Structure 1
């Protein structure tokens, strides 16, 4: 392949003999023999048009990396402490959109108003981890593993994919960085790619008019019995199965500038290609705003919020007749302090907001129990809804999955943000 494309499963759980093969050796062998191919997996992983059948529901998990400030995205204008704690950064109540008596959205989220008015967008406030964790990396891992206290390396989305029929790596897909997040890691086969244009075999381009490179790779690997050969055959099948998505129209020009717009435009093509994808992860970074949050006229919050809303709105428009099966959840590893700091910024906090859009969402309203804010240097938005309660409603209503399987040991509380299929 021509870019960072990964098909991945555990190399020890299904076949003991794989344990003798080091990951580094597998990667070096793949890179040396197949250009820039990166493959982790086994011969039992398959991805063909037969196994990559049409998915009934698609979940897109959008991670706002760096701890987005939920108090800026969904403003508690009905809580007077918010304006006391943020004399420079607070968003004026008369500028908010999708406003009710307590909450309203940042004006840069205005592109999401049609989703809100049509009942396809909701927000759940004061959500988060069971206990505060202010380390970005530790909190991300805890959030995405979603199995507190377990030493097993398996993410909640990988467990979700494992509950559905089929063994195609296209069922779980990470788009944008080519690296799997913790949520996708585990036994079930999944795939990662930087873009659709990079999910092809090296040399399979306009210069190879007779298809010699691909035939040579098949000759080299198809009859080989080694573990590496099995991974190569899995790669061949994954590329073949993804072909319908690669053939779809690229509507990147409809999206805002930036990495999120680029990634979601690719995700829309994967969904429209109807290749059997069930779970897709996407990241938007640069939310760690200790400085330069800014106000409604300038600053990083204004830019990020605008790109977030514009990209999500363009994504649902781009999905066409596939939009009715797609649910998007946006979340971040933790929130930020209630009180602004001296640098026009916000330091690491605790509670946050989750956004849900699309299929099955009972939208047009805000959910959660508001704990009230306090105004002192160390004050946080407290968590009144465990984020897993929100995700549990998504996986049970959209996939009929067992909460006990996807979130081991967790007993969810009712949020009411999702409706059944």
Structure 2
């Protein structure tokens, strides 16, 4: 049995994690940022509706995929987890090998409708058990490259448009690495926070008029960036006018964040990719059991918020795909503190438009029960993302994931 991880490895995460920056909250509301320096060839107001929207939900802190999608038919699972295992008779959507955690019950309608699937044993091509190094690697998705560009920024660059509204980070003031790069994107705490600094109710357009006077005829890169900023703010108007349906969501950090995402999408302002964080999942101790505790609380929050999100999309639901990702998984064997230490393979959920749902995907490698037993990765996480990129956006996977040859997963249908 492993011993609790007392090394400083998680100090990096704890400093900004539990109920903090990575909580998915709108605690940083008010921060609005334009990221990227490329010239914008079409204004935000003229960008037009997006044909597909991808929502990337990051489970920060390394979620325990072996608890979210339980390999009940692998005898090593129950042998390795006498205190924290989820009983087989309580699992949902159980097949010959897997079953969903009982707190994922709000997602069962999506599963039975064929709009939710799980891909197990996914992850990085090589283990990386440092939270932030792994997050960086996952979101950059181009190992060995010296270019500072995230995979979602490359996706935006591979599709028509070039509006700052193509990519949006909601629920916090700092855009993730996946959105960083030459293509302009936006980051905001909430929909209503998207505004020009200093522009209040009594401004009467004076700030905007001054900016136009200052930058309209300037042809410098800075001036182009400034013009794209106020064009994006102008173009975001329909999202602000969309109804705020947050009362229909769980009163949790993630519920509030996804309510903002749905509102922005229903505004139909041209958003193609949205990122949201949920955490923290770094459960080295006190993980709880199937009857209650930290993992049960997180899983309940995750399922309730995603279910409410898809119920809130209205006529936009047919073009929205959501994928969950975590930087790495957890070890197979529970430790002496009734938790799990940093591992390798994990599970990804894919929901919404284009998903061949109602089933589990991936090649199961089997589990061991040794002190350092781990779930091996049999599906590179980029293969899952590449299938979404190709089928939903028609984009070149080579442009989004350079030097990577994706393998077929089968979780997505073609457009």
TM-score norm. by structure 1 comes to: 0.88
> 1:45–1:234: 8 Å Cα contact kept in structure 2?
no
Equivalence for 1:48: 44
SS in 2 for 1:393: helix
Alignment-derived partner of residue 303 in structure 1: 297
Question: 1:416 corresponds to which residue?
Answer: 410
Alignment counterpart, residue 373 of structure 1, candidates 363, 367, 373: 367
Aligned counterpart in structure 2 of residue 157 of structure 1, from 152, 170, 191: 152
SS at match of 2:323: strand
**SS of alignment partner, residue 235 of structure 1:** helix
Match of 1:318 among 302, 308, 312: 312
Q: 2:287 aligns with which of 270, 279, 293?
A: 293
Tell me by how many angstroms 1:44 deviates: 4.1
Offset of residue 376 of structure 1: 1.5
CA drift at 1:205: 3.5
Contact 1:47 1:170 in 2 (8 A): no
Look up the SS of the partner of 1:49 in the other structure.
helix
The two structures, once aligned, show a CA RMSD in angstroms of: 1.6
Could you tell me which residue of structure 1 aligns to residue 105 of structure 2? 110
Alpha-carbon separation, structure 2, partners of 1:149 and 1:99: 40
Which residue does 1:28 correspond to in 2?
none
Q: Per-residue deviation at 1:207?
A: 3.7
Out of 121, 125, 149, the residue aligned to residue 120 of structure 2 is: 125
Equivalent residue number for residue 241 of structure 1: 235
Secondary structure class of the residue paired with 1:62: strand
* Residue of 79, 85, 90 corresponding to 1:84: 79
Q: The residue matched to 2:45 in structure 1 has which SS?
A: coil
Cα pair 1:324 1:358 within 8 Å, conserved: yes
1:396 is matched with 390
Partner of residue 347 from structure 2, selected from 343, 349, 353: 353
1:223 CA displacement: 4.5
Q: Do 1:293 and 1:299's aligned partners in 2 also have CA atoms closer than 8 Å?
A: yes
Deviation at 1:406, TM superposition (A): 1.0
Which deviates more from structure 2 when the two are superposed, residues 344-353 or residues 408-417? 408-417
Write the distance in 2 (CA, Å) between the matches of 1:152 and 1:365: 37
Residue number in structure 2 paired with 1:94:
89
Per the alignment, in what secondary structure is the counterpart of residue 391 of structure 1? helix
- Comparing 397-406 with 344-353, greater Cα deviation is found at 397-406
Gaps of 5+ in 2: 1-28
Within 2, Cα distance between the matches of 1:180 and 1:234?
17
Q: 1:179 aligns with which of 164, 174, 197?
A: 174
Q: Deviations over 1:130-177 (max 9, x none)?
A: 111101111111111111111111111111111111110111111111
Structure 1 residue 228: Cα displacement:
4.2
Mapped partners of 2:343, 2:171: distance in 1: 27
Shift of 1:298: 2.3
Q: Give the CA deviation at 1:226.
A: 5.4
> CA 1:160 to 1:44, structure 2 compared with 1: closer, same or farther past 3 Å?
closer
In 2, the alpha carbon distance for the partners of 1:88 and 1:112 equals 26
